[in-house]
Chains A and B, each alone.
Chain A
């Protein structure tokens, strides 16, 4: 989460595979937060096919982020769409910029600044799957990005891959020497010549060339607290996988992952998506909706609500 003097909180939802439920979760958590009386903006930046509007049951939007980038609208807030849910607005088209390989980093920085200046209590950014550099940068713009995984090995493997990329990207931003930066770049390649396979081996090598950068790496690891939501759990054993992932992250990366919660597998989810009606509005009593709303309350609890509840 990132907070400035406006008490604005940004959560980025990303990591892992497509189909693990990131858009579903983004939409429904957003609605839950808005029902708590907070102003919420959802940002659709899913490269794999942005369609938060479909989850919300509204038509493909008119104004998008591209209109802002191409200066057809002068302020980002003019590209916001009303969703029909009170307090909830939607911004789409962010994926176009993330996708553009040639998007200038100055442009990205401007976009980040504009997002951070939006008037809202919560901003939820759906990044979708994939780990392109610009996706990682977006993920890292909130100190506590949210990873969504399902209990299958394939999903967990992808989540770790994303987490590793994000973690190394963060370390790269923190160290100052060129040699440390290039060492981190090299470590990203699994078959690197230096033979660096784990974060500890990377740390050892960085320490060897630059003690100060080694210290910074340790500092970064201690302050990096990504969050995890486990989706489509079917048993108590599945739920416990989340705790195991937390332990594995601690042993492998040396980072403290926060297990935010889980969402049970529920037929009602599919039904609500087919109806294009968000689950927490369509069927609040369903098990999955209860799980989502619990996670939303936890997110809200971690900050004082500006307007009270």
Chain B
């Protein structure tokens, strides 16, 4: 039982202290979706003030943990807290992995949730935060770099029509472990906005 103010960045995002950037990104997406004014899971539990506190803590945790230098210095200044919680988390983590093992239905479920969609620019941001360069994505997806760049720049003029584009978007999203559907939706919105103009 720890109040929000007492929880470490890792506890706020419910990740282990050795979580990699992908895990942190996913945990952040999940936390953002969960502690959102319209989320049914928080209904009747938190006051507006508490929600603001939690949301601020989530943003702060994400900001620090996604930045290598900030995370390092946070680790140093909070080492006593993190060390302790890391041993606690370890048991929790082993519980979770057994949870996953015994459940077929949860294994193919990614925990990125919600209404949030990805677009080219957010994709680029996530990719850069993960420290993956376009070449690696290109090698993984067999999509040429030029096309990937166009996707990130949201250059609808030079990109193929949505019917053809879909496959590329799907492959790219998967390469980053993101929900492909959300990228496709984001792009649909882009096309729609463009059409209006």
Contact = CB atoms under 8 A, between A and B. Distances in A.
Nearest to A247: B34
B69 interface: no
A291 B103 CA distance: 10
Contacts, number: 87
Nearest to A291: B105
Given A199-B1, A247-B30, A251-B4, A241 B109 contact: no
Interface in B1-54: 1-4, 14, 30-31, 33-35, 39-47, 50, 54
Interface string B104-115: 111001010110
Contact of B105 (A151, A197, A222, A294): A294
A244 interface: yes
The 9 A-B residue pairs whose C-beta atoms are closest, nearest first, are: A244-B41, A254-B1, A244-B34, A157-B44, A240-B113, A153-B43, A221-B1, A245-B41, A247-B34
Which of A152, A240, A241, A254 is most buried by chain B, counting CB atoms within 10 A of its CB? A240
What band does the interface of chain B fall in when counting residues whose beta carbon is under 8 Å from A? 20 to 34
Interface residues of A, number: 42
Contacts of A151: 40
B99 interface: yes
B104 A294 contact: yes
B1 A241 contact: no
B44 A248 contact: no
Interface of B: 1-4, 14, 30-31, 33-35, 39-47, 50, 54, 92, 99, 102-106, 109, 111, 113-114
B43 A240 contact: no
Interface in A250-309: 250-254, 256, 258-259, 261-262, 291, 294, 297-298, 301-302
B43 A157 contact: yes
A141 interface: no
Interface string A182-207: 00000000000000011110010000
B31 A248 contact: no
B178 to A, nearest CB: 14
A198 B44 CA distance: 12
Contacts of B42: 244, 248
A43 to B, nearest CB: 26
A140 interface: no
A2 to B, nearest CB: 19
Contacts of A157: 43-44
B45 A297 contact: no
B12 to A, nearest CB: 9
B40 to A, nearest CB: 5
Interface of A: 151-153, 156-157, 160-161, 197-200, 203, 217-218, 221-222, 236-237, 239-241, 243-245, 247-248, 250-254, 256, 258-259, 261-262, 291, 294, 297-298, 301-302
Which of A241, A244, A248 is most buried by chain B, counting CB atoms within 10 A of its CB? A244
Contacts of A302: 102
A298 B103 contact: yes
Nearest to B115: A237
Contacts of A247: 14, 30-31, 34-35, 41
B46 A252 contact: yes
Given A261-B105, A297-B102, A301-B102, A237 B41 contact: no
B47 A197 contact: yes
Given A237-B114, A244-B33, A203 B54 contact: no
A20 to B, nearest CB: 14
B166 to A, nearest CB: 19
B34 A298 contact: no
B185 to A, nearest CB: 13
B103 A261 contact: yes
Given A218-B1, A237-B113, A256 B92 contact: yes
